[in-house]
Every structure is written in C-alpha cells, then in structure tokens.
Amino acid sequence: MGSDLTVGDIMTKRVISAPASEKIGEVATLMKKHGIGSIIVTTDKEGKHAVGIITERDIVGKIIAQGKDPYKATAEQAMSKPLRVVRPETNLEEAAKAMKKNKIKRLPVVNEKNELIGVLSEGDIMRIFPAVIDLIEEQAALR
C-alpha cells in the first residue's frame, strides 16, 4: 500500500464480543442486532481478553449442521482458534498481507496487555483504499 498507516489508524474501536460461556443463540442475536457477521469470543463478560472468533459460517458448520442445540451450545464450542491478533502500531500493509496469507477477514487488535481494543476488517481496509490510491497518485506526480 506504500503508506505509513497503522492498524490503529483505521481499526474499528467498538468491538462486539461475547464470553466463551455465552449460548450460540445469544451470539446469533447479537450478530443480528448489530448487523455483523462475526463476534469476538472473550474469557469474560468484560471482553478484555480475546480467545477466539465466531463467524456465521462457524455457527452453521459447527452447531446447526451437526444437530447441536444453539440454546445449549456455547461460544467456546463454535469459535475458531487459535485467534490471530495484531497490535495497533502494526503497519497496515503488513496486517493486510497477514490477512491474505491466513485467509481471514478480521484481525482482533490487542494492546501491550493483550486486551482487546479493536478489530481490523477487510471492510476497514477497503474504506480507506480510495484515499491510499489518491496518495500514491500524488506521490507519483511529484516524481
């Protein structure tokens, strides 16, 4: 991308999370309520320490398709792990390459205490992409 943008510059700071003990039915309700396709799973209700992520695909593949009751199954049973995370000071280009390499669409962002402080998504990157193109064009014109 050729810029000095960091993950912290563009990440989504308002993260919707659920504790590992949360029932899948409640997780699905949270997803619908907030219009999102994934939930970060944490060790507790405070949502500080991320341990996994649940996507709509996880709910379908690991719970519904296997005949498990979504009102008895927990987030821990459906979450994908190990969770790949990134720090806010990570260069955006480096984070985007990691997402592509690992075939993931979201990276939770954690601070030096490994506390969840945001999420970087493909949507976040695409939202700033036109500005990055403009910057590259400006730099090329100066040469």
State the CATH number of the domain containing residue 82.
Answer: 3.10.580.10
pLDDT above 50: residue 1: no
Closest by CA position to 5, among listed 143, 123, 125: 125
User: What's the number of domains the chain is made of?
Assistant: 1
In a domain, 99, yes or no: yes
User: Per-residue pLDDT for 60 more than 70?
Assistant: yes
Residue 80 lies in a domain: yes
Provide the domain limits for residue 63.
7-142
Q: Confirm whether 112 is domain-assigned.
A: yes
In 4-30, which positions are buried (b, 16+ CB within 10 angstroms) versus exposed (e)? ebbbbebbbeebbbbbbebbbebbbeb
In a domain, 1, yes or no: no
Please give the model's pTM, rounded to 2 decimal places. Answer: 0.80
Answer yes or no: is 104 within a domain.
yes
Confidence label for 88 from pLDDT (cuts 50, 70 and 90): very high
Q: Say which range, 34-38, 118-122, 139-143, has the weakest mean pLDDT.
A: 139-143
